[in-house]
Structures are given as structure tokens and as C-alpha cells.
Amino acid sequence: MPYKPPLILSLIAVLLCGGMLLSSEIIEVEVIRGDTLHGFARRYLRDPEKWPRIYELNRSDIPDPDRIYPGQIIKVPSDMLRSEIGDLSQLRGDVKYRKETEEKWEKAEDGSRVYPGDSVMTGRNSGARVDFLSGTHLDITSNSLVNIKHLRERPVASLLEGALSSRMTKIITPSAEIIPRGKSVYDVDVDRIRTTRVSVREGEVDVRGQGVSVTVQRGFRTLVELDEEPRIPEALPPPGEDIFSLDEDEYPGGGFHLQVAREREFENILRQDTVAELNEKNIRSNLKPGRYYWRAAFYDRDGFRGEYSHPREVTVSGRPSALLELTGFEHLDRDTGLMRVQGRALNAENVIINGYPASVCGEGFFSVTIINPGEGSVTALAESPEGTVIKRYVKTPEGWKLK
């Protein structure tokens, strides 16, 4: 295996510059085929005209600036390097990267360095992070292709397909440009027909397409189809814990992303499904006997996903899960949506009605007061060691019915 230099040396370089001493972290950079020191400066330095400083720092190893060789290591103060240079970290699964000057994809290693023009590709159930020297980063998810761009005003990446989460990094897609404002964090997804989806988690960003720009703030999202203008921003889907009290009339045409894993941290996801409803059958589907954790997130009609719910445990053993039934629905105040819900749950450790915990007596009976503004549906959830039972009741002209 070829020698790979360390990411950051614990050295302090003292450079003589106009009679002043300048201190900076030192980064080791490997020379590629065909480089001269002048070409190296144009490729990697913020100001290529300052290449003589690099020459002075490396004079003992570079007698002639026109003669540097592939594999040779050049020391560079970090504050002189272009900000688009970064390091790969937090690798998961199948991650490859390709140098701009190469045709072959190489297997990425933790600490592999990427430069302007290089590309990163992730496979199924894989991911990687790019930590730029400027302090910003990209978190790349499965089945994605990202190219680091040759632009110097800030770190810029091109997302050709797949999805990523960006921190203060400009992203270019086939249908849009996403320019962060300040300390912003946002998610970008590009599907097979080159539609771009942007969701803002912190701060705000400008999204441009076809000469039109919209500002998307925290908690909002926009969609940009190929050769179309960005849509007017709308609120993101509700947070994870709110999915159990969703009103279908408020979010028509959506569904749920369901994930199942062996461990609560979800580092190794066993199953990912898109389901129209959350119920015991969907959660337990295709699981062998054992203990698992599951979580779910709502996605709306345009394919935007909300946050995942907290992990919940489920044990597949063949034994029956909790029995759950709602028996009474009383409207206490229609203006506020205040309701009293009654029911019975057997073998249940916890019962939650539209996100409100219910106190269960010894024989399984419970009564809980909730706020249900839409009053169109009620979701009941009962948890037991054997699994989770979810039932949804909808209001009809004949009364409340189990869906």
C-alpha cells in the first residue's frame, strides 16, 4: 500500500514574510503526476503568486521548483490552502473516490484527502463525511455522487445524484444552486429525474433556478424541477413524535419511512420500507424472532421527509402483543379541540393517544384528555415487550370507526 501522509502535522511553521513571523498549522500534500511547483500553487493555493513561500519552506527537499515528483510530500501552511480541500471521515459501507486527473475509482480510507475536481461516490447503505479545511462539512448518504468544484469563494460541491446534508457549503445540482446564509445546515436530495429537494434545518439558504431565487428559512423546504423555477417554500413535515397524531386531511398523499435495526443507535439498519400506515404488521414484517428497534418519519406528497421518531423496541417471539381498543370519544370543547378518549389495553406497558400518555388501571381501562384540533382522526399506540400496536380511528357520519 502506498504511503499516505498524516492529515495535519503537529508542527508550527515559522515563515519569514516581509520581516514578520507568521505561525500556522502545516498540512502535508502529495504531489501528483505532471506537477511543477508553479502548477501546484495554481491548483492548491488561495493566491498562486505566493508559491515562493512554499518553496522557501520546502527548500531542503525541493532544490529546483520546476522539478517535483509524483509522491513527493510538500508542506503547506493551512491558511494558504484553498478552502475546498477536505478530508474524508466517518466512512460507512462502500465509499469510493476519484482524483480529477485519474479515471479509476479508489476505495476511500478514513483520512483520504479530496481536492477541487475530485469526486466521491457512495453505494447502498453507505455514507461518508467531507471535512473541509475551512471548518464546513458535507455528510453524504447512500447511492450518491458528489464532485468538489473549482470555485474559491467558499467550499462548493456538485451533487449529481443522491442526497447529502451540508453545513455552510454551497451546493450545485442539475436543477438548482443552493447558497447558504451564515451558519446554515440544510439537506439536499436529487432524484433520477433531476428534481432537487432542499430542507433547511438551521439558518436559511437561497435557492436559485432558471434565474429566480427564493429564500428558505429554518423549518421550511422547497422543490426545484429540472428547467423550472423554485417552488414557494412550505413548512417541513412534522417532527418524529408528532407522526402518531397526524391528521390525514392536513397531509394528503404522504406516507412513512420505517427503519428497523438491532441496536438503538441505528448504525446498521436491517430494513427500510416506505409504508402507507404505521401498524404492527408493517413493523414486524419479515423479521425473524429476536429483539429489534424501529423508528419512523413522515414524508409528504412531494417526497420531503420529517425527523425520525425516538427508537422503540419490538420483540418478535410469536407471542401475542398488547390488545388495544378505543371505546369512547367525548368532545369537551370544539373550539380548542379538547377531547376525552376512553379505551382498554391489555398486556401494555405504555399507552399513548395522539402523543398524550394515558394512565392504565389494573384491568387495562384508561381515560385520557387530549387536544385534537382537526378532530378527524385519533391514533392509539400501545407498547409491550412483544411489540407495539398502533390503531387509527377516523370520524365518520356514523361515529368513530377503526380504519
Pick the residue with more confidence: 159 or 3?
Answer: 159
Scanning 45-160, the segments in alpha helix (DSSP H) are: 51-57
Torsion, Cα of 165, 152, 149, 161 (10° steps): 30
Please check whether the two domains, 240-316 and 323-402, share a CATH topology: yes
Range with lowest mean pLDDT among 7-16, 84-93, 178-187, 232-241: 7-16
- Grid coordinates standing for 190? 436529487
For the chain, the residue count is: 403
Query: Is the confidence at residue 229, as pLDDT, over 60?
Result: yes
Confidence of residue 377 (pLDDT cuts 50, 70, 90): confident
Per-residue pLDDT, 24: 58
Question: Pick from 314, 231, 310, 304: which is nearest to 279 by CA?
Answer: 314
Give the pLDDT confidence of 33-47 residue by residue, as tens digits: 667 788 888 777 878
Question: Pick from 175, 242, 167: which is nearest to 205 by CA?
Answer: 167
Per-residue pLDDT, 221: 96
Chain-centroid distance, C-alpha 355: 25
- Grid coordinates standing for 201? 434545518
Mean of per-residue pLDDT scores for the chain? 84
H/E run at residue 75: strand 73-77
User: Mean per-residue pLDDT for 205-211?
Assistant: 97
Question: Pick from 280, 309, 261: which is nearest to 386 by CA?
Answer: 280
Pick the residue with more confidence: 144 or 245?
Answer: 144
Query: Is the confidence at residue 91, as pLDDT, over 50?
Result: yes
Confidence of residue 249 (pLDDT cuts 50, 70, 90): low
Confidence of residue 321 (pLDDT cuts 50, 70, 90): low
**CATH code assigned to 323-402:** 2.60.40.10
Range with lowest mean pLDDT among 54-63, 248-257, 286-295: 248-257
Tell me yes or no: is domain 240-316 CATH 2.60.40.10: yes
> Are the C-beta atoms of 222 and 232 separated by less than 8 Å?
yes
Residue type, 317: S
Per-residue pLDDT, 75: 87
Per-residue pLDDT, 2: 39
CA of 131: how far to CAs of 115, 144, 277, 397, in Å? 11, 17, 38, 57
Per-residue pLDDT, 16: 31
Query: Is the confidence at residue 158, as pLDDT, over 60?
Result: yes
Q: Domain map of the chain by residue range?
A: 8-80, 86-235, 240-316, 323-402
CATH topology of domain 86-235: Jelly Rolls (2.60.120)
CATH class of the domain whose range is 8-80: alpha beta
